[in-house]
């Protein structure tokens, strides 16, 4: 989608009334859109392919191909192009049905121009965001060869650049970062880009079992090594074969297991529990931790020699709050997956929902974002996720015990909460009245100018 700098976007307008088409074209030009009028709805496919529009605005009741037919045709040609349905008085139920089938929004005749302007603006912004997201996915796929890697920040690009450089070596990698930042994702990336890619990839959680069971899980055991050991058993080092072994939360290992792991890294061999035979450890080790191993070494909790063996090639995964530019695109990625999984037609996040997400600190990082988006998809009733669907974030923002108030004075906190109240109240108000400014202002008891000011302030 390449537009002239002075044009917001191309809009195809479909209606069987020529006067309506002429008026709409004049209005859209005034708003700096590029209108294409179409009176014969049967030619929609031909016009769509020729014009490649950003938005389609179509009447519902037409003698040849009605709005439902146009909607289906546009969805076949490009499902990312928003379709806005125009209905006559008394056809609201049909418009709601059209939205369930994939329409972006609807307007009921006679509609106010400011209502049309808001809907077009939101539809075009959504179109731009979808295209940016698709372009980003294509770039990441070309560079990294993975569909589930989603980011745009320079910090994450640097992490994956380093991972790609070390992938095809035998160096031990230590990945550090807070829980939920994607350490295992980076580990899998290293494995799939290494010479061991066709060999096993095994994850070993160093916190999952008691020490005696961890040892047997890691190294295996011989028959009779302890009560219940009725046969020989391979450990995960042996199971990993010539593949990759991911040691997650390595900082939790006991001193005894630290010593035994050090021996494996140094000598590249090990013995099963209760056995005397040595087995070769031809495996690539990658370790991860959410702790500072340097600090643990100083405290005497982690062996210094093991730390240096693991820290041959360190990579730090930045927390989500340090890369806010990734929050929205990750949110869209999760939204698309969960909407499809749950059979819901949700197109994106409302502008103020996006603002709320980008202002939140995400202490649980990407994992928390994923959980919040999944819950929001289940709660959402419209085509966009709104702040009410992100109630978990709103609740977290207003709890003083979570440390969010640190560094703020009372006036700042008061203003922050007033903004939350305004954003939530007027978002729901406009949603109830389908964007009708007059009805919204009447219910709220404020004038239309105030409503417009708040729409602009919160990008409603």
Can you give the CATH number for the domain in which 129 is found? 3.40.50.2300
Q: Which residue would you say has higher pLDDT here, 6 or 306? A: 306
pLDDT band at 413 (very low <50, low <70, confident <90, very high): low
What is the residue-averaged pLDDT of the chain? Answer: 83
Choose one of 255, 283, 317: the last residue of a domain: 317
Mark whether 304 and 334 lie in a shared domain.
no
Long-range pairs of 429-435 with CB within 8 A, sequence gap ≥ 24: 430/455, 430/460, 431/382, 431/386, 434/106, 434/108, 435/105, 435/115, 435/118, 435/119
Residue 112's domain spans which residues? 10-134
pLDDT band at 133 (very low <50, low <70, confident <90, very high): low
Question: What's this model's pTM, rounded to 2 decimal places?
Answer: 0.60
419: tokens are 């903004």
Can you give the CATH number for the domain in which 389 is found? 1.10.8.60
* Number of separate domains in the chain: 3
Mark whether 216 and 286 lie in a shared domain.
yes
Mark whether 380 and 429 lie in a shared domain.
yes
Mark whether 306 and 329 lie in a shared domain.
no
Mark whether 115 and 39 lie in a shared domain.
yes
Mark whether 435 and 306 lie in a shared domain.
no
Mark whether 161 and 308 lie in a shared domain.
yes
Judged by average pLDDT, the poorest of 88-97, 202-211, 404-413 is 404-413
pLDDT band at 401 (very low <50, low <70, confident <90, very high): very low
Mark whether 32 and 104 lie in a shared domain.
yes
Which residue has 């290494």 as its token pair? 194
Choose one of 291, 317, 343: the last residue of a domain: 317
Mark whether 220 and 206 lie in a shared domain.
yes
Q: What pLDDT is stored for residue 415 in this prediction?
A: 63
Q: What's the CA gap between 390 and 369, in Å, rounded?
A: 10
Choose one of 261, 289, 317: the last residue of a domain: 317
Mark whether 247 and 345 lie in a shared domain.
no
In 57-167, alpha helices (H): 67-77, 92-100, 113-144, 154-167
Q: What pLDDT is stored for residue 115 in this prediction?
A: 83
Mark whether 354 and 437 lie in a shared domain.
yes
* Partners of residue 176 on adjacent β-strands: 289, 316
State mean pLDDT over 222-230.
Answer: 81
Can you give the CATH number for the domain in which 237 is found? 3.40.50.300
Has residue 397 got a pLDDT over 80?
no
Has residue 141 got a pLDDT over 70?
no
């Amino acid at each position: 989608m390449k537009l002239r700098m002075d044009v917001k976007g191309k809009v195809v307008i479909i209606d069987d009334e020529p006067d309506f088409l002429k008026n709409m074209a004049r209005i859209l030009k005034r708003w700096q859109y590029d209108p294409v009028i179409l009176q014969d709805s049967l030619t929609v496919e031909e016009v769509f392919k020729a014009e490649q529009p950003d938005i389609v605005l179509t009447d519902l009741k037409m003698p040849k191909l009605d709005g439902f037919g146009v909607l289906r045709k546009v969805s076949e040609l490009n499902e990312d192009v928003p379709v806005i349905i125009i209905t006559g008085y008394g056809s609201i139920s049909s418009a709601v049905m059209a939205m369930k089938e994939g329409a972006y929004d609807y307007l009921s005749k006679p509609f106010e121009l400011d209502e049309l302007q808001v809907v077009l603006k939101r539809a075009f912004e959504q179109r731009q965001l979808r295209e940016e997201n698709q372009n980003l996915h294509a770039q990441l796929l070309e560079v990294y060869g993975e569909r589930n890697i989603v980011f745009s920040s320079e910090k994450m690009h640097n992490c994956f650049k380093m991972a790609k450089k070390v992938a095809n070596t035998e160096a031990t990698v230590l990945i550090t970062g807070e829980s939920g930042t994607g350490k295992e994702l980076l580990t899998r990336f290293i494995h799939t880009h290494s010479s061991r890619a066709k060999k096993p990839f095994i994850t070993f959680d160093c916190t999952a079992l008691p020490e005696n069971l961890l040892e047997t899980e890691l190294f295996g055991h011989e028959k009779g090594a302890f009560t219940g050991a009725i046969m020989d058993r391979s450990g995960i080092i042996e199971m990993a074969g010539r593949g990759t072994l991911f040691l997650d939360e390595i900082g939790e290992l006991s001193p005894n297991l630290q010593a035994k792991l050090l021996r494996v890294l140094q000598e590249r061999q090990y013995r099963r529990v209760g056995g005397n035979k040595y087995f070769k450890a031809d495996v690539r080790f990658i370790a991860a931790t959410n702790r500072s191993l340097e600090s643990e070494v100083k405290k005497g909790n982690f062996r210094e020699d093991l730390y240096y063996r693991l820290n041959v090639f360190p990579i730090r995964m930045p927390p989500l709050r340090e890369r806010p530019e990734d929050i929205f695109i990750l949110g869209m990625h999760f939204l698309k997956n969960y909407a499809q999984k749950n059979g819901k037609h949700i197109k994106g996040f409302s502008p103020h929902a996006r603002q709320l997400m980008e202002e939140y600190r995400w202490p649980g990082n990407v994992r928390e974002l994923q959980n919040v988006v999944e819950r929001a998809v289940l709660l959402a009733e419209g085509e966009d996720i709104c702040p009410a669907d992100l109630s978990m974030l709103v609740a977290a923002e207003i709890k003083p015990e979570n440390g969010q108030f640190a560094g703020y004075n009372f006036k700042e906190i008061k203003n922050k909460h007033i903004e939350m109240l305004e954003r939530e109240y007027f978002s729901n108000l406009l949603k109830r009245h389908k964007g009708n400014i007059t009805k919204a202002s009447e219910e709220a008891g404020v004038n239309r100018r105030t409503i417009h000011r708040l729409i602009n302030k919160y990008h409603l």
